[in-house]
Amino acid sequence: MTARDTSSVGAPCWVDTWQPDPRAAKDFYGQLFGWTFDDPEPMPPGLDGGYYSARFRGQLVAGIGQAPPLSPPGWLTHVRVHDVGESLARAERAGGKRLGLADDGSEGRFAVLADPAGVPFCLRQSGAGDGVELADEPNCWAMSSLHAPDVGQAQAFYGALFGWELKAVPNAPFSLWLLSDRVVAVVAATDGIEVPPHWSVNFAVRDADATAERAVSLGGGLLMAPADTPGFRSAVIRDPQGGVVAVSAATT
């Protein structure tokens, strides 16, 4: 089981990718990470591809769902809230914008919204036990990172919405988001041109080079070839439908 706190209000608790063809995405990510999948769950009318919960070693690690028409494929990070409606209203007062609301069929609701920079993410309100069951291990979710054009604006928004606090890291190009003194996410500044504003989702792997090579052999591509960063060797992968995901292997 993950030692990460995914049950407290304000904690990131789930990641999923919404794709034009979720079955094809399931085949890609299943082979890339060794995931198995539950039977598809229904989605709202018009989204007939269904929603697949992914498992690794029998435990929930992520989801793959049908993207709305004309929506680009991508990965989303879900943050736990006490009440979706109240949190949406607070987000809008802080400069966010609601993009959608859906019932996930499992005792809860999630909402898709954008922060003031237009970066989409999700609010998730649900019963006990909902969220990732395995994290911070190879082939599982490791971290979500916000790439923001205005870190001060992001600090004000996410601080007001979730109570996150920003902690600088000496001599590093990123800062940490803390909730009750625990790291919940990372934030880095972006110029918005070479790297557009977005929430990136990073999965741990044992070998970044082998994972990148496998992604290409499965029809994906590389936005960043494997490279060394302090403590990690990382790559950025584009899946066959255009969704982007990062992978990192610890080197220390």
Domains along the chain with CATH numbers: 12-125 (3.10.180.10)
Is 240 exposed, middle or buried, given 0-12, 13-18 or 19+ CB atoms closer than 10 A?
A: middle
pLDDT the model gives residue 3: 61
Structure tokens given for 220: 């994906």
**210 vs 34: CA distance, rounded Å:** 13
Task: List, run by run, the mean pLDDT of 10-residue segments along the chain (252 residues).
Answer: 74 96 97 96 76 96 92 94 91 93 60 95 77 94 96 96 94 91 94 87 98 98 94 96 97 84
Q: Rounded CA gap, 236 and 227, in Å?
A: 10
Q: Tell which residue, 62, 173, 165, has the closest CA to residue 122.
A: 62
pLDDT at 104: 52
- Give the pTM: 0.93
CA distance 108 to 101: 11
pLDDT at 4: 74
Q: Which pLDDT belongs to residue 46?
A: 67
Where is 29: in which H helix or E strand?
A: helix 22-33
